[in-house]
A and B are shown apart, each in its own frame.
Chain A
Amino acid sequence: DAGVIQSPRHEVTEMGQEVTLRCKPISGHDYLFWYRQTMMRGLELLIYFNNNVPIDDSGMPEDRFSAKMPNASFSTLKIQPSEPRDSAVYFCASSFDDRGGEQYFGPGTRLTVT
């Protein structure tokens, strides 16, 4: 398996623009997680899905952030409008068993909002 795939790897955009980050989980995994990593706040869980259904979105910073999982092999994280403070590395991870199952992380998307 190719592992968790994220695109783009790098994104530079201007404040106010819409940003869409994409994730393809490992086939067969039924949990998908979106994390954000910054120097100030470390790793934060934004939202996670089980069988394409959002289970916990309490980490989503505000209404500008939204995430969807239309099918088992694809998820998006959208920021609209983007702000400079959204600059971070966004990771997607997937796992097949929430009861202690390992989370497999993608390589991340480095987002820079100017």
Chain B
Amino acid sequence: AQSVTQLDSQVPVFEEAPVELRCNYSSSVSVYLFWYVQYPNQGLQLLLKYLSGSTLVKGINGFEAEFNKSQTSFHLRKPSVHISDTAEYFCAVRKTGTASKLTFGTGTRLQVTL
């Protein structure tokens, strides 16, 4: 089975500052990795995903993430955040191949202030 750990439940940051949201996963097989964002009272929206190839993945809204297989990590970064980035961010993992579950982390609340 796969598992995801998001160590930081909340990350406060000032506007225009850089941010990193941490995600570590555990799996005995190859996996796909995802970051989703949830704005208040909305469903989840995909930010980016790693399936294969380049370990640096760029997503929407200026976010990027780097897959590090040796450290089993998939940290999310943004060089300069905006107030509108305030939301809950979820890291998720699923094993490659057919018909597999998407396992979510517990989420990190990013709070951007002026």
| B104 adjacent to A43 (CB under 8 Å) | yes
Residues of B within 8 A of A108 (CB): 42-43
Which one of A42, A43, A56, A102 lies within 8 Å of B46 (CB-CB)? Answer: A102
- Assign chain B's interface to a size class: 20 to 34
Stretch in B16-24, B64-72, B78-86, B95-103 touching the partner: B95-103
Any B CB within 8 A of the CB of A4: yes
Contact A100 B32 (CB under 8 A): yes
Determine whether the beta carbon of B100 is less than 8 Å from that of A98: yes
**B51: which A residues are within 8 A, CB to CB?**
100
**In the complex the two chains form, is B106's CB within 8 Å of A42's CB?**
yes
Q: Point out the residue from A42, A55, A56, A106 that lies within 8 Å of B104, measured CB to CB.
A: A42
Whether A102 pairs with B49 at a CB distance below 8 angstroms is yes
Interface residues in B13-54 by Cβ distance below 8 A to A read 32, 36, 41-46, 49, 51
**Chain A residues touching B, majority SS:** strand
Interface positions of B (Cβ within 8 A of A)? 32, 36, 41-46, 49, 51, 90, 96-107
11 pairs from A and B in contact (CB 8 Å cutoff): A43-B44, A45-B103, A48-B101, A91-B43, A93-B44, A98-B98, A98-B99, A102-B46, A102-B49, A103-B102, A107-B41
> Which A residues are closer than 8 A to B by beta carbons?
4, 33, 42-43, 45, 48, 50, 55-56, 91, 93, 98-100, 102-108
